[in-house]
Every structure is written in C-alpha cells, then in structure tokens.
Amino acid sequence: MIIGLIGAAAPACIISSVVTGKATPYLAMGLGLSSIGNVIGNSGFVEVIIVNEFNEYVREAFSAAGDIVIKSMMGGYLVYLNGKLIGDICDNELFLKRTPTSDRLLAASELRYPYEGSKTLMHVFDSFEDTALVLELLDGMYAELPEKKPAKAR
C-alpha cells in the first residue's frame, strides 16, 4: 500500500511503499500530485492519510487491539481496525459504529450524527485511557462487523 498526503495546506506526509514497507516523512508544502507521483514512482495508486494530533492519539490508544488505519474522506476521517470500518473522526471527535457490543459498553455515551446530512447515528467515544474498555469494545465490534467486501473486477 502506498500512503501519502497530498495538498498545499498539508503540514507533512508519510509515504511508504509496498515493495520496501518503509515510511518516509516528506514536507508537502507546495507538492502537487505530480510531485508525489515522482517521489513514489509508477505505483499507480496514492492513498491519502492526513496526520494530526487527534488522529494519532486515536491510533495509539486503539493500536493494542490491532492494526489501526485512519483515512481522510470528504472533510473527515474513516477509522479502520484490521481492515474493518469501525468509525469516523469528525471535528476531532471519534464516532464509533453501533453494534451490540458498542451499544452495551457505551450505553451511557452520547449518540449523535457525525456530520451534517449523515443518516447513521453513532456513539461519541472519549474513554481513551480505559485500556480494558477499549480492548473489549474493539474486540467485540470487530467480531460483529461484516467483512470488507472484495473490490469488483473491472
């Protein structure tokens, strides 16, 4: 997987290659898609991930449960656990999908829509320091969420 950050307003980026598996930080100021493409080579695919403090905090707090990937998507971020979508980050708040486990463990948490126009009511999560809760919650959610659908062949 190639990971990179594109955009003149972006403070930094991390680009890694499937071949090397190494991540290299680059300053993205003034870099356009062609510049990033030249750095990456002829991979044919660039995935955008914006690194900010809250996203890194979420990633670090949840990493004990598995591989956490946070992807930029339409002004917010999608949060994946071992390839399964578990929630969204919008305006530096984490929203987790509703599953039987999240409904049980987060019964006292606020339910809100993550962004204007959303049709999915989600749990607002802020108990990052409670490692036991995080592990039980994410293990249960992972077991209950569907597998990622394979990409359709073109």
> pLDDT of 73-98, one tens digit each?
888 999 999 999 999 999 999 999 99
DSSP 8-state assignment for residue 147? P
Mean pLDDT of 45-50: 52
Confidence (pLDDT) at 154: 79
The three-state secondary structure class of 35 is: helix
> Is the pLDDT assigned to residue 152 strictly greater than 80?
yes
Closest CA to 92 of 63, 61, 128, 55: 55
Percent of the chain with pLDDT over 70: 67
pTM above 0.85, yes or no: no
